[in-house]
Amino acid sequence: MTYRILMMEDEPQFMSEVTEYFRGEGMEVVGCVNGEQARRLFAQQRFDLVLLDIMIGSDFNQGFRVCQWIHQKDRSVPVIFCSARKDEMDQERGYEFGCHDYVTKPYSVKLLHLKIKNMITHTETLRRSGNTLSLQGITIDDERKTVSVDGRAVHLTPRQFELLQALMENAGRTMSREQLLTQVWNYGLTDDERIVDRHILKLRKALGDRSEEYIRTMHGYGYCFVKEG
């Protein structure tokens, strides 16, 4: 099976390097240079992953808007931002808009390919599992990517969903920040452990008042989802 990647990039050098290298690794890259083209292609074709530059021409936030639009259409397709903007606030915004990773330019095309390959494999595994997991009144559905708390639907970002899923699948075990980075952020694609803390804080807020009862901070170690009983 040939994996298909949608890449929005207005710098020909990056587009050419990625397209050529990925083709040699059996992946097809479909390129576009702005958000209008990206949305049209995504609506018309099947893609396994999307690469987005954030700043296109003089538009500083076009990539963010395209990412948001893509997740409204299909939340199961991973999105990676590839941007020259290295500021931490930009990276935080990227995750808030639902990206699965944020890669800064210049990047290694070889490493980018490995990251994408692992991310697609991970996403396919989740799709195939298609099972429902329930603990402490929380139910997550892998196939539909939905979450409910005591029967109430809860909206989570893709990253928050994966973080909750990792904790629930390892209920009763303390998971270190490093382990969560490896499992949730697709095998260590980022080494900023503070990202885990920020996402835990927002996940707890989304889940409601009782969240600290079942997602506990294990000081000096990490986090643990408490088993019932």
15: pLDDT strictly greater than 60: yes
Residues 6+ positions from 123 with CB-CB distance below 8 Å:
48, 49, 76, 77, 78
Buried b / exposed e across 167-183, counting CB within 10 Å, b at 16+? Answer: bbebeeeebebebbbeb
The answer to whether residues 117 and 8 belong to one domain is yes
Per-chain mean pLDDT for the chain = 87
CATH code (residue 208): 1.10.10.10
Helix axes 158-169, 194-207, angle to 10 degrees: 90
Q: What pLDDT is stored for residue 49 in this prediction?
A: 94
**Mean pLDDT of all residues in 105-119:** 92
Question: Given this model, what pLDDT does residue 186 score?
Answer: 61
206 is in which domain, residue-wise?
Answer: 130-225
Boundary-marking domain end, from 127, 154, 178: 127
One domain for residues 41 and 144: no
pLDDT tens, position by position, 20-55: 999 999 999 999 999 999 999 999 998 999 999 999
10 and 118 in one domain?
yes
Same domain, 79 and 160: no
Could you read off the pLDDT of 163-192 as tens digits, one per residue? 999 898 888 888 888 888 877 876 444 557
Same domain, 110 and 52: yes
Q: How many domains does the chain have?
A: 2
Of the residues 110, 127, 144, which one is the last residue of a structural domain? 127
Answer yes or no: do 16 and 117 share one domain: yes
Identify the CATH number of the domain in which residue 65 sits: 3.40.50.2300
Which of 64, 96, 127 terminates a domain? The answer is 127
